[in-house]
Chains A and B, each alone.
Chain A
Amino acid sequence: MQKLLLGDEAIAQGALDAGISGVYAYPGTPSTEITEYIQHSAQAAEGNVHRQWSANEKTAMEAAVGMSYAGKRALVCMKHVGMNVAADSFMNVAITGANGGLVILAADDPSMHSSQNEQDSRYFGKFAFTPVFEPATQQEAYDMTRAAFDFSEKYGVPVLMRVTTRLAHSRSGVKTFEARKQNELHLPKNPKQFILLPAIARKQYAQLLEKQPAIINASENSPFNQYFDGEDKSLGIIASGIGFNYLMENYKDGKCPHPVLKISQYPLPISLIRKLTQECSRILVIEEGYPLIEEQLRGLLDNTLKINGRLDNVLPRMGELNPNLVAKALGMDAMMDVCIPDIVAARPPALCVGCPHIDSYNALNEAIAKYGQGRVFSDIGCYTLGALPPYNAIYTCVDMGASITMAKGAADAGLKPTVAVIGDSTFTHSGMTSLLDCVIEKTNITVMILDNSTTGMTGGQDSHAFGRLENICLGLGVEKEHIRILKPLKPQHAVNTQIIAQELEYNGVSVIIPTRECIQTMARRMKAPKQAQD
């Protein structure tokens, strides 16, 4: 059956048809739609597939590992930077191996459309000796997700699936196949498999290394790694993932005259690469993300082969590829000059009209003005847009939860006062332990938890913090009289400014919680019953 699916949705449907018993994830662009698709799927509901959001990527990964331990298939999804949060679990589950099929999906964001960096998750695969599947099309996203679960169980290893924004958020026809049943509960044959005591971990690690030749062999014979012969051997091309699409776009009917090796499964298929390098006098490497393949081909001394790619600027060193950049690398005439008429003004993203963060920032800006600039540490979410005019309210945005701990470090250094601005969902993702550090040391800090009761930037997913913020802060040891709840509305501006000013004066930990629902989720909520009436 043919369905029109986003790359993300194809992965979700592939996982459902592979018989997963659970998906675990924290929302993050461009991965969010995978879990949302499963949450809305009747097939998932019927199979009672676990599909609630997790507190963060690490808790998601660990729960998925637990499901794999119990013998069932689990999918865990995150954006690329989520891999950093989950890395402890990811690196170690490589050593334990999987019992039920375990697939980790990392969605990378080259060109940083919605992210703070463009790290390439394929390096995590290499780092952990974990095979990486990198689909080029929506159909492959579906097929490879199914294949990845089978692979995981066949070799007893987790599999990392890597996609990038362009595939995650592009739609195409996908042919789906009959769903496989979910696994029965079954514990690992070796009861010590998941006990990483050093003595056991050494054995497990040795086993993982022993498996590598078989896993490389699987790459060399994978239907997803294809060698296309070509007459003109003056150039051989290695194209990975969606790099392959941009290559073929430049030839009528995809008829490239040069030999092409399409790579979608790692570790790298060494004998296929050797064949290409022996046949061709020059190699062009087209890969989306960092030059992972190219660096390995060049090696440390880079003196064996004539190689072109991102490292010699035949393709740009950073940013997303496109058909034109690849055409230029192929020596074709390509339109590179993108001149937008002068009359067109930039239209950057902005806080929505009526957004509660606007009122919070207006009050904060007024209260902190007398202390001077550079004292507000922020975090990852819609409120990061407070960095832009007219607010110019924040000075940092580094990683999930960093607002509180960076403000603490700056306070430790003597900056006074310091303010952290963090969203409700980001706070329960990674801010609670930071706040505990502050409470233990009675740091002079004012933490503003902007509570819009949702995970806003990714489209309004449920927040773990909902209805719990005050009790969490009390439980962590924040003094009751220094937990201040505000209503971020225009008529309250003077009162809110005064409360923030008071807490900035306090020499200890204050938590201010401006609480008002996200304007987007509210609009959706208001609309819902009306539609039902239609």
Chain B
Amino acid sequence: MKTDIILAGVGGQGILSIATVIGNAAVRQGLYLKQAEVHGMSQRGGDVQSNLRLSDSLIYSDLIPYGKADLVISIEPMESLRYLPMLSPTGWVVTNTTPFINIPNYPKEDVLMQTIDKLPRKIAIDADKIAKEAGSARSANMVILGAATPFLNMDFSEIERSVAEIFGKKGENIVNLNLKCLQLGREFAININK
């Protein structure tokens, strides 16, 4: 078993908390893991990505080869497309549809959404809206993670357990909100695929 994931977003959007949850679950199950992150200059509002690799056998490279990623998980719609060259021909894109516009030449939203619609295997989810309705606007990344869980080759309960562990310090209320967002994201992805 091997799952290669590109996590994408804009500096400051919190892609690393998604990585932390998946990583926590992977390590508990005794999987090998490598996770290359971006620090430094690019974090200042630039595009950021993380290569997250999970496997039941030894992983050599910290970087995923082009065309080999099983999954692109993106907190930002345009950023999901930046990593298409990384995606394998059978890979899935799970992306937020709420844009983060901090550049003057951001593409027209309808054209952007049409491009995403044309992708053969994708989950496009308005994570910001769902998180807000659930009462936790800051948990959009958990909605997206939830939508990605059907593709992770991992028991959902393991992901839930990791969310509980990682947010545990912040109290039961925060844990429950994040678990709710996770569940809503997952349901969206499963229903849309029916």
Contact = CB atoms under 8 A, between A and B. Distances in A.
B62 A242 contact: yes
A350 B35 contact: no
Most chain A beta carbons < 10 A, residue from B33, B60, B174: B60
Contact of A249 (B65, B111, B171): B65
B115 A170 contact: no
B37 interface: yes
B44 A347 contact: no
A287 interface: no
Interface residues of B, number: 50
A30 B85 contact: no
Nearest to B24: A4
Given A29-B39, A338-B66, A344-B81, A253 B44 contact: no
Interface in A331-384: 334-341, 343-352, 382
B85 A171 contact: no
Most chain B beta carbons < 10 A, residue from A247, A336, A344: A344
Interface stretch (A87-95, A126-134, A306-314, A320-328): A320-328
Interface residues of A, number: 54
A319 interface: no
B93 to A, nearest CB: 12
A212 B81 CA distance: 53
Contacts of B105: 345
A534 B174 contact: yes
Contacts of B33: 4, 171-173
B60 A245 contact: yes
A249 B59 CA distance: 8
Interface in A1-29: 2, 4, 6, 29
Given A4-B23, A350-B45, A457 B40 contact: yes
Given A171-B35, A173-B27, A534-B174, A245 B107 contact: no
Given A2-B27, A166-B36, A114 B62 contact: no
Contact of B85 (A166, A339, A347, A459): A339
Contact of A534 (B44, B66, B67, B170): B170
B112 to A, nearest CB: 6
A32 B112 CA distance: 37
Contacts of A194: none
A406 to B, nearest CB: 21
A171 B40 CA distance: 16
A33 B40 CA distance: 11
B102 interface: yes
B43 interface: yes
A173 B41 contact: no
Nearest to B106: A345
A110 to B, nearest CB: 13
Nearest to B66: A335
A50 B170 CA distance: 31
B11 interface: yes
A347 B46 contact: yes
B81 A343 contact: yes
B61 to A, nearest CB: 4
A290 interface: no
Interface string B40-79: 1111111100010000011111111111000000000011
A347 B10 contact: yes
Interface of B: 10-11, 23-24, 27, 32-47, 51, 57-67, 78-79, 81-82, 84-85, 102-103, 105-107, 111-112, 115, 170-171, 174
22 contacts: A4-B24, A29-B41, A32-B39, A166-B62, A172-B62, A248-B61, A253-B57, A337-B85, A341-B81, A341-B115, A343-B107, A343-B112, A344-B107, A345-B105, A345-B106, A347-B46, A348-B46, A349-B11, A349-B42, A351-B45, A458-B40, A531-B170
Given A170-B36, A171-B33, A324-B65, 4 more contacts: A334-B65, A343-B112, A350-B44, A457-B41
3 closest A-B pairs by beta carbon, nearest first, are A29-B40, A114-B40, A349-B46
